[in-house]
Amino acid sequence: MRVTYEISIIDTVLVGGAIALAATATINQPSQAESRPGFYCDTSGNKPVTVYTNSRGVPEPWIRWTSNYFRDAGYNKLTRCQDVSHRLETYRRDRDLKFITVGKMNGQNVVCTANQVNGRCERLILTLKPSEDGVQALNNILAWRQAGAPPLSKSNRMPYVDLRAHLGIPKE
């Protein structure tokens, strides 16, 4: 028994149109880096990286996650990248990412936000290893600063980095 199928020109056009529409929708999906300014965790390389896409659409690597120090506490490199990237983006959107500094929270050394130079730690960005030098960690995080970045203000040997202009947060 031989079965034959008839495919009309209309069926071919409809199927072809649906395929073309699906392909166009997929191709035109903007990546996180292309869409708008903000922080995200980039997992395209061999190590996760917290990236900030600036207002010109240029991605700036902020934190390269290489340490597994916090793995036993449930925070591997990918988890830390996702958590910290989400925090930074939330703080940026809330306009709470004015200054970053180092300090202590819950007895641990941290990188945190501050509302002003000499201000106290307001919101946690990331926890440091107990023996880690906070100032050095802050400089490592701010690797993007190498090209025309805001000056690192020191007050009582504590660094304060003013991010307002870089992130488009108005000065009050």
Across the strands, what pairs with 153? 160
Higher model confidence: residue 3 or residue 98? 98
Mean of the per-residue pLDDT values for the chain?
Answer: 76
Report how far residue 139's alpha carbon sits from residue 160's, in angstroms, rounded to the nearest whole number.
Answer: 11
pLDDT higher at 82 or 147 = 82
Whether 109 is covered by a domain: the verdict is yes
Q: Is residue 8 part of a domain?
A: no
Q: How far apart are the first and last CA of the chain?
A: 83
Which residue reads 């020191």 in tokens? 154
pLDDT for 144 = 58
Position 60 in a domain: yes
Q: Domain range spanning residue 131?
A: 32-167
pLDDT of residue 6: 43
pTM exceeds 0.75? no
* pLDDT of amino acid 165: 85
**pLDDT score for 23:** 36
* Any domain includes 23: no
Flag whether 98 is in a domain: yes
d(CA 125, CA 42): 17
- Do the domain assignments include residue 1? no
pLDDT value at residue 32: 44
Residue 26: inside a domain: no
CA distance 126 to 102: 10
- The count of structural domains within the chain is 1
**pLDDT tens digit sequence for 76-121:** 999 999 999 999 999 999 999 999 999 999 999 999 999 998 899 9
Is residue 47, in this structure, part of any structural domain at all?
A: yes
User: pLDDT tens, 29-49?
Assistant: 334 444 578 999 999 989 999
